Structure 1
Amino acid sequence: MSVIRLFDFQEAAVARVLDAVNDWTAACAAHGPPRLGRQPIPFVGLLKAVTGAGKTPMLAAVCQGLGPAVVLWTSKSSAVVDQTYKNLQGKYAGLLPPGTRVIRERPSRGDWEHLIAAKAGVDIWVTTVGSWNEAEAVAAGGSADARLNMHRPHPDWGGRLSPWEQLRTRLKRSLWVIYDEGHNQTPTQLDQLVRLEPMGFLLASATPPASELFGKLNEAIRDDDIFGPIASQARVSISTADVVKAQLLKHTLEVLDYQAEPEAMLDEVIDRFRRLEKAVHRERSSTCPRAVYVVEESNPRRGSTELSRPVAIWNHLRRRKIPAEEIALYTQTKELPEDAEKVSSLNALQDRHRHIIFNRALQEGWDDPEAYLCYFDGETNSYTRIQQIIGRVLRQPMGRHSGEEVLNTATLFIRVPNRKYEEIIRQIKNELSLYALDADDPFGGSAIRLKTRGEPLKAISVKSGGKRFSVPNYVLGDAQLAGAIRQVEARGRSMWAEADLIAKGTRRSRTIALEKGSDRVKFEEFANNIRTPNADYFRRKLLLTNRWAAHQVHADSYAGRSFHQASCPRSAAQEALATLAGAVATAYEQSVEYQKNEIAGERSWHVAPHRPSGADLLTFRHATHASYSRKSFNKDEREFADALDSFGKGTWCRNPSTPGEGWALPLPSKVGDSLNFFPDYLWWVKRTCLAIDTTGRHILQAKVRGKLMSIEVPMIVLATRGKVAPDFATLQDDEGWTFARARRGMPPVPQHCDTLDDLVKALYDLA
C-alpha cells in the first residue's frame, strides 16, 4: 500500500492550522471559552485552496494535533464520503495519529461504545450530511440516510439515547467537526452542528462558512483581544503557485463553445480523445486519459418517445468505434442497450472505462486526474452547472507535467446561448482568479491559463537571436548552521520537567467530569491532554519560520531524549522550542548564499514563446516578443515597459510569473506569501543582463534585499515608485522613482530619479 507524504506547502498549511488550534485551546483553558450569550463559540479553521491541492490529506494530518478527540467527518456527497473512508483507512492512514479508529456511517456496538467512553486516542466517524441533517432525513423518506439518522435512537448499536444526544453530552474527549467539500454546506446544516457544541470546525472550502448564527459568532469574536487574532490566524490560504509548482494541476483550461448539434460536439470530443492517446503513446506514458459526459436527465420525460440522453450518447460513441467495454453509464437510466454497462458506485469503475456518462451524483464526488475532456449535454445557461467540474478535470496525472502540451490541458465542451456566453466565461475567469499565483500580487494573474475560441492563445514566438536571450539559474546553497545545530542537539540531551511540559496555568492531571457548567475545568483538561511530540512541534515551527532552513536540519539533530517528550500548547517547553526554531532560521537566512544550478538541463533559463492570457495585445519594438497580452501588466509595469521600449537600446522581455515558465530566484526567507522572486523584466543591454522588479516589495525587505543583490548575472535591480528613505525602511515621497542595485564592496543605497526615463537611462549607464 502506497503511503502519502505531504508536500512542503501542505505541511506548512497543517502547521498553521495546528498553531491556531493549540492557541485557541490554551486560551480557552486560561480564560474559559468565548460565548455569545450562553452559546459557546467554537474554533473555526478554514483551509482555502484550489480543488486538487490535497485538502483531505491535510485535514487528516491536522488530526494529529487535536489530542484525544472524536472527529465527525462529514460531506454532502455519499461519493465523497465513500472515497474519504477508503483513503483514511488506506493511503492517508500514515497521516493520522497511531491507533486512530475510522468508522463508517453505521458503527458496530463495540465501536460506538469506544467512541463515547474512551478518554484517549482519536476516533473518526465518516458520515454523509443526510445521516444527521433533520431536514434531509425527512426528504429522504425511507432511504438509508433517513434510517441512519443520528437524531433517532438505534438500540442495536447505539443504545437508548440518540447518537446525536450522546455526542452532545456524553463524550470524554473533545468533539471536532471536519466538513469536507465545504462549499456545499448550507446555513441550516452549520447551525445544527453548532448545537453539538464542538470544540471546533475544520472546513475545506474556498469561502468562509455562511449562516446567520455563524455570522453572529464571527462578529462576537472579531473584536475580542484574545480570540480575535487566533480566529484570523485559523483561516489558511494556500498559494496555487505552490500547487502548480508541485505539478498537481493541469496548467491550461480550454473551453470550447459550440453552436452546433450534439453529434458534432461529440465528434470533437472523440477526435480530441484520440489526440490524447497519440500524445500518451509518443511520451510512452502510463496515463489512461478519460472523457466524461454530463447529462441533466437519466430518462426521457414521461410520454416522450425519444431516447434518453445517456443512451443517445452511448449509441454515438459506439458508431464512432468506441468499444462497449470502454464505456460506463453512471446514471439511473431504466432502459439500456443490451451490451451497455451500468455502474452504481465509484468503486465499480474500472481502468478500462475510458468514456463515462454520468449525472450530478458523480459530478460532486469523483476525483480522477486522468479525466481530460468533459462534455456537457444540452444547453448550458448557468455557470453553476460547470462549477464543480472545473476542479475535477484540473488534477494532473501522476503529479507530473508532460512535455506534450495536450497532456497538461483540460477541455470543457459546452453549448451556451450567445446572450450568456460572456457572463459564463467571466465567471470561469473569476473562479480561476481564486487560484492566484501570489496572494500578495493581485495582478499576478491565474496559475491556470484559460483558453477559449474567442481568445485563442496562439503562442507569440521569440524574435530572431533568441539563443542569446538566456540567464543562469541559481539555487540556495548550504548555510553555515553548525553552531545552531549544536544548540538543537544540546537541547535534546536535557529532559524537560513535567511542569515545563504542561500548559501554563494548568495544574490538574486527574480526570475531570465534563458535566454541564464546568467549561473552565473541561478546557483546562483538554488543553493538558493536547500533547505534541517535541520533535514534531520543533519541525513544525521551523517549517513555518523558514521552509528552506527546515530542509537543512536533519531529523537526527532533534532525535535526543527531550524531543521524544510531548508538551502542551503554551507550555514552557514549546515556548523554548519556538525560540530555538527562530534562532536556526535566523542563522540560515544570514549565512545562506546563492550558487549556480549545475544540474544538466537546468543550468540556464531561456526566453520561450509568450503565451498570452487574452486577445488584447500590446505591441513593442525592442522586446524579445513582438507583443504581449495587456493583462500581463499592471499600471506601473505598463509604464515601465513603455519606458524601456522607447529608450530603444538592448532587448527586454516581460518575465512570466508562472512557475516553470519565468526566471525565478528562490528567496532565503518569505516576502509576503512568496518564497520565489520573479523580476518583472529581463533587459539584455551591452554585454550583460539586468533583472528589474518594479513592485517595491523586495526593496523594503532587508532580509532579502542584500541576498538578491549578491547575484552578478543578471544584475538585480529593485525599483519602486516614490522616494525611499536612506535606510530603506519607508517611502518619504510619492514623486519620482527609486531604484537600488549592488555596489562592489559597498552596501546598496536607494537612488532617486525624477522620472522613469531618467531611471532607465541611469540603469543603462550602469550596465
Structure 2
Amino acid sequence: MELKPFQLRASTQIAERFLEYLNAPLFVTATKRVPFYQNLSALTGSGKTVVLADAMEQIRSRLPVEPIVLWLSKGKVVVWQTYANLSAGKYASLLNGYRTKPLLECKQADIEQADRGLMLVATVGKFNQRDKEQSDRKVYQVDLDYADHSLWELLKKRETEDGKRRPFLIVYDEGHNLSNQQTELLLELEPDVILAASATTRIPEVLERIINRLKQDKGWKSSDLVTSIPSSAVVEAGLVKQHVLLGGYMTPMEAAVNDMFEQMEKLQGLAAQLELPIQPKAIYVSNTNLTSTGEKEDSMRPFQERTARPILIWRHLVGNLNVDPRDIAVYCNLKFHANYPPPANFRLFAGGEADYDTFSAGNYRHIIFNLSLQEGWDDPDCYLAYIDKDMGSKDQITQVIGRVLRQPGARHYPHPELNTAHFYIRTDEKSVFEEVLSEVKAQIAAESPDVSLIVYKSDSGKAAKPALAAKKTRFLPEISVNSAEAILPIRRITDNIHDYRNDPVNTVGRGSQIKVLQTIGRGEERRREWVEVEHSNLVTARWMFVRELQKYHWQAVHVCDIEDPKFDARIEHNSPAANRLRESAERVAQTYCEYSTVVQNHLAFWRVGDVVVDPRDRVDFKNALHDGYSTLNTLEKKFAFALDETGHDWMRNPAKGGLEIPLLDSGKTKSWNPDFIVWVDDLEIVAIDTKGDHLILEDSARKLFDLASFGEGPKLKVRLVTEGEWNSYVDKVGVHGYTVWGLKRGKVLPMYCHTLEEAVRVCSEVSY
C-alpha cells in the first residue's frame, strides 16, 4: 500500500505529537496518565483509514512495549470492512507489526503475549451499556474457559507476562458520532491515546474536560489538537473528483432521470475511449413507502399500479430506458403485501446491514435507496445521483455528496466529465432548490473548498448543460515519466545497503528513554512503578526504507527491488541501521529524479473532448476549440483574448486532468497543468503557462522544457510567461512587459516582450 505524501505527513504528525507528549505527559494519579488526544480532520475520500493505520504503526515502532489498539466504528458494515482491510486486505501491509482480531475474539493470552502489537476491531455497540453487571455485552462477561476476568477487566489491566503494562490506543474513525456515555466507558480503560477521525470537531462534554486540561496545563492551542489534511492535497492527488455539477429540475422525475441516464452513457463512452476499467454507477435517493404527495402508499395493489417512488423510478428505468433489471438494486425497506409481490426480477434488499454483503456482491450500476444505505458503501465508480428534494429533510443532499465524490483509479483523467460528480435534484419550487444550493455551497466551502461547484437549472425539457463540446477534432499525446535510465544507478545504491539480518549491534537503538508502568513484586507486595525502557519495538528494514522513500518521491519505489530478503532485517527506529536506510532512501529519490526523463508518447494520444464550464463565469471566444471557458483570472483572460486573435486553434487546459505534465522534484508537487494549449500546425503544439514564476526557480525547470518524444507526431514544447522583465540569472529586473521562457542549447533562457501580443507570438511562433 503506497501512501500519498500528504497522508504520510498527516500520520507522521500524529505519531510525533504523541511521542513528544509521552516524554512529558500529564497525570490524573501517580499511575494514570491524561490521554493524548488528536482529531484527524479530512475530506471524505482522503484515505483516513490509511492515515490512521500508518500512524498506529509509526507509534508502535517507537514504543518500548507492543501496544494494544481498539479500533471503533459505529456501523457493523464499516467495522467488518475495516477488519477485512486491516487484517488481510489492502491496508494490511501498513500494519505488519500488528495481529488484528475482532474484539470479542481477544483472549487473555493475546494480551499477555506481547510479541506483536494487538489490533482489536469492534462497533461501539459491543460495549456501549452503562450497567455492566446487568449487561448482556460479552465484553463484560467472564469466559471461564480462558480467563478469570472479563475481557473488559483484562483490557484495563493489559499486563504482559513480565508485568509490563501495554500502551492502549483508541481509534474512532467516526469521531463525530462519539457520545458522552461511550467516552466515559472508554476512559475507564485508561487509554494513552484517543484518536478521532472526523470532518467536524463535535466533541462530547467528558472529552472536552480532557482537552481543556491539555490546553491549560500543556499550553496547547486548538490547532495542536487537530491534524488537518488540506482538501487541495486530496484533489491534487486525484482521490476525489474535481467538480460537483449540480442540476436543479423543476420537472417530473422522468425528465431529470432521462438527463442523468444520457450522461451516464456518455461517461461510459469516455471511459471506453481511454480504455479505463470504469463502469459508471448512479444512485437514486427518495422516500420509500410514500407517494409523490407525501401520503403513505397502499401496498395492497398490483406492482404496475404502485406509486411509491422507488417503484416509479424502477419502472421508468426498465420500461422506458431499457435498463436490465439485473443491474438495478432497490436498497430500502419497501413494503409489499403477500398477495401482491414484486416481479421476480425486482431485486429488493430490505434487510439493512443483514443484506449488505449480498448487495455489495451484486455490483449493481443503478441503486435506488433512501438514506439508510450503509455508510460502508463508497464506490468510486459512482458518478451520478438523482435526489427527490421534496422529501422534507434538509440534510439529504449533503449526506449524499460524499458517496459520489471519490475518484475511480485515484487519478484525474483527460476528459473533465470523468473528474466530475453529477447531481440531478428534482424540486417542486425554485426556492427549494435555492435552499439546497445554499446548503451545498456551505458544505463544499467548509469541507471541500478545492472542489469547484457548477450549477445549472431546468424548468422544463432539457437543461442547458455546462459541458461544451469541442468544435474540431484535436489530439494530445500522453505525458509520462521514463525511469529506465534510473534503474542501474538506483540498483547500485540499493546493492550497497548493508544486510542487517545478522547484525546485533547496528540494529539496536540509542537515545531517548520512555517510562513504562510495570508491576513489581508478588502477592501483597505487588506495586506499580514507572521504569525507564531505552529500546523500541522492531520494524523491518523494508518498512523503514519504503516509507522514507515515499517522503521524497513515491514513484521511485517502483524502481527498487524491495523484495530483496535483506530488507526482512528487524531494526529499531533510532538505530544506526535505520539512519543509514534513511540516507539511502534520500539518495535513491535524488537519483530517480536526476536520471528519469519526461516523455511525450505519440503512440498513446487522446482526443480532446468536452470541457465543463461554469455558466456564471463563462467567457466566449471565436477561435478556441470550445465556445467558451470559465475560471480565468485577469492575466489569463487577457492572454486568452490575445491567443484568440492569432487564428490558431487553442484551448484552456483544465486545472486537473487534461494535459498533465509530470514534474521530477523530490517532495514537491508531482504534476503540472499548463494554462493553455495551442496547435500551431501539424508539427508543433505549444503548452503555455502564464503564472510560471515558481516553476522557473525549480531545479526541474530544464527537464520541464526538454520533453523527449516517443513515436511520430507533432512535438509538444513548453513555454512559461511571467509578468515583468527577467534576466538569465532568474532575477526580476523590471515590472513592465512580459518574459517568455524556453530552452536553448540545454539552458533555460528568457525572452523579453514589451506587449502581451508579442509574448503570444513568441510562444507560438519562435523556435528556441
Scaled by the length of structure 2, what TM-score is found? 0.75
Describe the shift of the 1:576–1:475 C-alpha distance in structure 2 as closer, same or farther (beyond 3 A): closer
* 1:571 equivalent in structure 2: 575
* 2:676 equivalent in structure 1: 681
Does 1:504 pair with 2:491? no
Q: Retained in 2: the 8 A contact 1:363–1:388?
A: no
Q: 1:174 aligns with which of 162, 167, 172?
A: 167
The code of the aligned residue for 2:396 comes to R
Per-residue CA deviation, residues 335-372 of structure 1 (Å, 9 max, x unaligned), is 67652553242135362977766444325343345666
* CA distance in 1: counterparts of 2:325 and 2:688, whole angstroms: 58
Q: CA deviation at 1:708?
A: 0.9
Q: 1:546 aligns with which of 519, 541, 553?
A: 553
* Aligned CA-pair RMSD: 5.1
Describe the shift of the 1:378–1:22 C-alpha distance in structure 2 as closer, same or farther (beyond 3 A): closer
Does 1:594 pair with 2:589? no
Mapping 1:251-262, distance limit 5 Å: 255-259=246-250
Q: Retained in 2: the 8 A contact 1:80–1:365?
A: yes
Per-residue CA deviation, residues 63-111 of structure 1 (Å, 9 max, x unaligned), is 5445333221112223322433454455347436459554445x15xx2
Q: 1:655 aligns with which of 613, 633, 653?
A: 653
Per-residue CA deviation, residues 17-57 of structure 1 (Å, 9 max, x unaligned), is 5544554465456x334679996352637272433x55446
Describe the shift of the 1:338–1:86 C-alpha distance in structure 2 as closer, same or farther (beyond 3 A): farther
* 2:633 equivalent in structure 1: 634
Q: CA deviation at 1:174?
A: 2.4
Describe the shift of the 1:732–1:194 C-alpha distance in structure 2 as closer, same or farther (beyond 3 A): farther
Q: Retained in 1: the 8 A contact 2:249–2:458?
A: no
* 2:42 equivalent in structure 1: 48
* 1:347 equivalent in structure 2: 357
Mapping 1:155-174, distance limit 5 Å: 155-156=142-143, 166-170=154-158, 172-174=165-167
* 2:375 equivalent in structure 1: 364
Q: 2:585 aligns with which of 581, 585, 588?
A: 581
Describe the shift of the 1:489–1:22 C-alpha distance in structure 2 as closer, same or farther (beyond 3 A): farther
Per-residue CA deviation, residues 133-170 of structure 1 (Å, 9 max, x unaligned), is 56xx69x9x9xxx74396xx423479787755653443
Q: Retained in 1: the 8 A contact 2:40–2:227?
A: no
The code of the aligned residue for 1:611 comes to V
* 1:425 equivalent in structure 2: 437
The code of the aligned residue for 1:80 comes to V
* 2:739 equivalent in structure 1: 739
Q: 2:701 aligns with which of 693, 702, 705?
A: 705
Count of residue pairs the alignment pairs up = 709
| 3-state SS, counterpart of residue 744 of structure 2 | coil
Mapping 1:331-410, distance limit 5 Å: 331=333, 338-339=340-341, 342-344=350-352, 345=354, 346-349=356-359, 351=362, 358-368=369-379, 374-377=385-388, 379=390, 383-394=394-405, 410=422
| 3-state SS, counterpart of residue 720 of structure 1 | strand
* 1:3 equivalent in structure 2: none
Does 1:490 pair with 2:488? no
Per-residue CA deviation, residues 247-290 of structure 1 (Å, 9 max, x unaligned), is x7677755454445xxx426854896699689979979998887
Describe the shift of the 1:33–1:56 C-alpha distance in structure 2 as closer, same or farther (beyond 3 A): same
Q: CA deviation at 1:589?
A: 2.1
Q: Gaps (5+ residues) in structure 1?
A: 1-5, 437-441
Q: 2:298 aligns with which of 307, 329, 332?
A: 307
Percent identity between the two aligned chains: 24
The code of the aligned residue for 1:40 comes to V
Q: Retained in 2: the 8 A contact 1:131–1:149?
A: yes
Does 1:71 pair with 2:59? no
Q: Retained in 2: the 8 A contact 1:12–1:540?
A: no
Describe the shift of the 1:219–1:575 C-alpha distance in structure 2 as closer, same or farther (beyond 3 A): farther
* CA distance in 2: counterparts of 1:308 and 1:89, whole angstroms: 44
Describe the shift of the 1:50–1:317 C-alpha distance in structure 2 as closer, same or farther (beyond 3 A): closer
Q: Gaps (5+ residues) in structure 2?
A: 61-65, 160-164, 301-305, 343-347, 521-525, 709-714
Describe the shift of the 1:610–1:402 C-alpha distance in structure 2 as closer, same or farther (beyond 3 A): closer
| 3-state SS, counterpart of residue 579 of structure 2 | helix
Per-residue CA deviation, residues 509-541 of structure 1 (Å, 9 max, x unaligned), is 9995499986673xx46xx34322112211111
* CA distance in 2: counterparts of 1:691 and 1:431, whole angstroms: 35
Does 1:32 pair with 2:34? no
Q: Retained in 1: the 8 A contact 2:284–2:368?
A: yes
Q: 1:80 aligns with which of 75, 78, 81?
A: 78
Describe the shift of the 1:290–1:214 C-alpha distance in structure 2 as closer, same or farther (beyond 3 A): farther
* CA distance in 2: counterparts of 1:192 and 1:298, whole angstroms: 39
* CA distance in 1: counterparts of 2:136 and 2:391, whole angstroms: 36
Q: Retained in 2: the 8 A contact 1:476–1:668?
A: no
* 1:148 equivalent in structure 2: 137
Q: Retained in 1: the 8 A contact 2:290–2:297?
A: no
Q: CA deviation at 1:591?
A: 2.8
Scaled by the length of structure 1, what TM-score is found? 0.75
The code of the aligned residue for 2:597 comes to E
* 2:63 equivalent in structure 1: none
Q: Retained in 1: the 8 A contact 2:741–2:748?
A: yes
Deviates more, 1:679-688 or 1:307-316: 307-316
Q: Retained in 1: the 8 A contact 2:517–2:531?
A: no
Q: CA deviation at 1:207?
A: 4.7
| 3-state SS, counterpart of residue 748 of structure 1 | strand
Q: Retained in 2: the 8 A contact 1:696–1:721?
A: no
Q: Retained in 1: the 8 A contact 2:310–2:369?
A: no
Q: Retained in 1: the 8 A contact 2:281–2:383?
A: yes
Describe the shift of the 1:87–1:482 C-alpha distance in structure 2 as closer, same or farther (beyond 3 A): closer
Does 1:460 pair with 2:460? no
Describe the shift of the 1:606–1:530 C-alpha distance in structure 2 as closer, same or farther (beyond 3 A): same
Q: Retained in 2: the 8 A contact 1:99–1:121?
A: yes
The code of the aligned residue for 1:571 comes to S
* 2:619 equivalent in structure 1: 618
The code of the aligned residue for 1:84 comes to T
Per-residue CA deviation, residues 550-595 of structure 1 (Å, 9 max, x unaligned), is 2222225x543xx332223333322222122111222222232233
The code of the aligned residue for 1:148 comes to R
* CA distance in 2: counterparts of 1:228 and 1:576, whole angstroms: 37
* CA distance in 1: counterparts of 2:667 and 2:210, whole angstroms: 33
Q: CA deviation at 1:668?
A: 0.8
| 3-state SS, counterpart of residue 581 of structure 1 | helix
* 1:122 equivalent in structure 2: 117
Q: CA deviation at 1:324?
A: 9.3
Q: Retained in 2: the 8 A contact 1:133–1:149?
A: no
* 2:303 equivalent in structure 1: none
* CA distance in 2: counterparts of 1:628 and 1:66, whole angstroms: 48
The code of the aligned residue for 1:388 comes to Q
Per-residue CA deviation, residues 627-683 of structure 1 (Å, 9 max, x unaligned), is 112x2x23432343244446x464432111222xx11211112574x3112111223
Q: Retained in 2: the 8 A contact 1:699–1:705?
A: yes
Deviates more, 1:325-334 or 1:73-82: 325-334
* 2:692 equivalent in structure 1: 696
The code of the aligned residue for 2:114 comes to K
Q: Retained in 2: the 8 A contact 1:649–1:685?
A: no
Q: Retained in 1: the 8 A contact 2:686–2:764?
A: no
* CA distance in 2: counterparts of 1:764 and 1:398, whole angstroms: 35
Describe the shift of the 1:277–1:15 C-alpha distance in structure 2 as closer, same or farther (beyond 3 A): closer
Q: Retained in 1: the 8 A contact 2:653–2:676?
A: yes
